[in-house]
Structure 1
């Protein structure tokens, strides 16, 4: 049986994700913006939390960990390189790591840009990637600590995952990200269709995540910065891929 995935809204626009293995009972949560909604989701399903996985150090991703850890005894995993600003870690991961969760292999790797210590979790057999605030739904995170070159390298690595990988990112920013994307590619049919569907979903109070990487490749301008049509759209047909990405990120910051 595949792992069960539950998307949990937290705070005003954050998401946490539960992963559950029915055979072993193992349950992991990716990021803990607040404890109460996660505990409620666990209680509703009768699941016991075994693991907490952290993508990066920002408060809106970790501030609920002490409470949740105390009430569940869950093991906390995060990047060794960022351990000095994370809650105490039971498992401190090196830059490139691999471990087993239930029957699934998990690989982790650095995706700096939003922060310098940001990591992603990829479960290849389950076609899942938890990308926090690096690759986001129709967007990418602001460069609070890293450089455009770091973020472009991170996104380029994530873009090479299998197209059917479900991207689980940290915020419900899809609608505003799509509005920006449409300023660059107003005639992109995949983008127009996605925007229409997101308007309906949000109107009904439904999350827009997770999302297939294949759809991100068709509609996310930050994954498309290397394409001639995107470079033409920003008036830089001869720009390098990094220069085009840098320009698009600056435009989004002003949007």
Structure 2
């Protein structure tokens, strides 16, 4: 089972549990306190931590949780002070009985990793950190537009039914921007209403699916003329000549939206 533990204003720390076990793993614990509270409430012990990238809102709780549980910590190789197992593109790691493939996705940060697990018996799942959001993607703090576009295309090629567990509740803001570019997208209009209803009940809009993102996420739709043209107009620029330039315009338009 995968459950969101809310943290800060809009973060989700994902916790993986198994009905047959009293152990758990968490993904990107930026704050130890809500994790400790959840584990105590459900009589669980922390076996491990997965990290997608180095930002403090994803790593801030690691040291305290490690000290409390002496749990295994895996993530980007350069985080030598906090990880026991450095991971790179193409590696795999077992978490709660599931094997996860490590996918390097530079763009938001240069060290960003995503974790994908494919299963015949269970859902395919992706922990996408701050690379792929529902309706959006992460800001380019360290990487280039080309790096982020390439990273997103890697994820877009995963099975269409893959469930996407990102780490922020940005969906409604992302959909507001998406609608400004993709005004007549019926799927986008439908999902936006569904997510409005979920948030009105204080429920998460996640997980998403690869198929949903293909239908509505503007960062996977830079090849759609209406989307890229409207982004260029918002910036008062001429339309970019290449796929990379169009993607960069969409990212820049979102940054100032």
Give the gaps of 5 or more residues in structure 2: 233-237
Paired position in structure 2 for 1:123: 117
Partner of 2:64: 67
Paired residues of 1:28 and 1:52 also in contact (CA < 8 A): yes
Q: Quick check: 2:181–2:226 contact (8 Å CA) kept in 1?
A: no
Q: Please give the per-residue CA displacement for 1:29-56, whole angstroms capped at 9, x wherever unaligned.
A: 0001111111222222222110100000
**Which residue is 1:253 aligned to?**
255
Does the alignment pair 1:172 with 2:166? no
Paired with 1:211 and 1:176, the residues of 2 have a C-alpha distance of 15
Q: Report the CA distance shift for 1:95/1:238 in structure 2 as closer, same or farther (over 3 A).
A: closer
Work out whether residues 231 and 239 of structure 1, in 8 Å CA contact, stay in contact via their aligned partners in 2.
Answer: no
Q: TM-score, structure 2 length as denominator? A: 0.91
| 8 Å Cα contact 2:89-2:103 kept in structure 1 | yes
Q: So what's the TM-score if we normalise by structure 1? A: 0.92
Correspondence for 2:104: 110
Q: CA deviation at 1:219?
A: 1.0
Measured after TM superposition, the shift of residue 25 of structure 1 is 4.4
The match for 1:15 among 12, 16, 39 is 12
Q: CA deviation at 1:89?
A: 1.2
Aligned-pair RMSD on alpha carbons? 1.7
Measure, in 1, the Cα distance between the counterparts of 2:144 and 2:244. 11
Per the TM alignment, residue 238 of structure 1 is displaced from its structure 2 partner at its CA by 7.6
Counterpart of 2:235? Answer: none
C-alpha distance in 1, partners of 2:195/2:21?
Answer: 35
Give me the whole-angstrom Cα distance separating, in 1, the residues matched to 2:167 and 2:196. Answer: 19
Contact 2:198 2:205 in 1 (8 A): yes
How do 1:93-108 residues align onto structure 2 when only pairs under 5 Å count? 93-108=87-102
Residue 244, structure 1, aligned to residue 222, structure 2: no
In the alignment, does 2:71 pair up with 1:77?
Answer: no
Residues 122-166 of structure 1: per-residue CA shift (max 9 Å, x gap): 111241101111111110000000000000000000001111111
Alignment of 1:1-255 (within 5 A): 4-80=1-77, 82-83=78-79, 87-125=81-119, 126-234=123-231, 239-255=241-257
Equivalent residue pairs, number: 249
Provide the rounded CA distance (Å) in 2 between the counterparts of 1:231 and 1:180: 13
